[in-house]
Amino acid sequence: MRLYVRNMVCNRCKMAVADILSKAGLQVLHTDLGEVEIAEKKLSKEVLKNLQAALEAVGFEIIDDKKSKVIEGIKTAVIDIIHHTSEPIAIKYSDYLSTKLQHDYSYLSKLFSEVEGITIEQYIINQKIERVKELLVYDELSLSEVSYQMGYSSVAHLSAQFKKVTGMTPTVFKNSSKRERKPLDNIGGHTA
């Protein structure tokens, strides 16, 4: 059985969710960002209710409707490719999402905008800017290397987009003592 879990956006999240499921007596077969496969074929309403309460206590939520699963799949796929891939991003996001979620991109785009209140493109930009912030804070790459890694056509393009989203240039952000970053699950449209 597969469970879809909202806000499961990093490896620590995967471990936390797996731990909660194990403590509930469930056999975890596989965890991935946003979903968990368990050996059990069906869960009683009581087990599901207790599991939901345990997950909600630490900021997670089981998703059970189809549209929410698709939205969470989009978010998880975007976070995965932007934050958990070390190779430079050299793929069209629309192609990546269509392939990954096995839906036409126009359907994904329309659904995401209706539910989240922003476009997938803006969500991707917001995630990319948050990743750029992380890379700037680590201070291991030059701005040119960050630009290349994140798939920007130039440093100027990255700088313009960064300023539009944050209100400051990457250099000002890097030199600022107030380098605020957001949790990945709070970037973009509606938050849980």
pLDDT tens readout for residues 146-170: 999 899 999 999 999 999 999 999 9
Rounded-to-integer distance, Cα 105 and Cα 96, Å: 9
pLDDT digits (tens, 9 = 90+) for 85-121: 878 777 899 999 999 999 999 999 999 999 899 999 9
User: What is the domain count for the chain?
Assistant: 2
b/e per residue, 59-69, with b = 16+ CB within 10 A?
Answer: ebbbbeeeeeb
| Same-domain check for residues 83 and 160 | yes
192 is a domain residue: no
Angle between helices 93-101 and 105-116 in degrees, nearest 10: 90
Residue 49: inside a domain, yes or no? yes
From 77, 180, 190, 93, select the one nearest 129 (Cα to Cα): 180
Question: Which helix H or strand E contains 20, and what residues bound it?
Answer: helix 11-23
CATH number at residue 182: 1.10.10.60
- Judged by DSSP in three states, 2 sits in strand
In a shared domain, residues 170 and 116: yes
Classify residue 86 by its DSSP letter: -
pLDDT in tens, 41-88: 999 999 999 999 999 999 998 888 888 889 999 999 999 999 988 787
Domain of 37 in residue numbering reads as 2-64
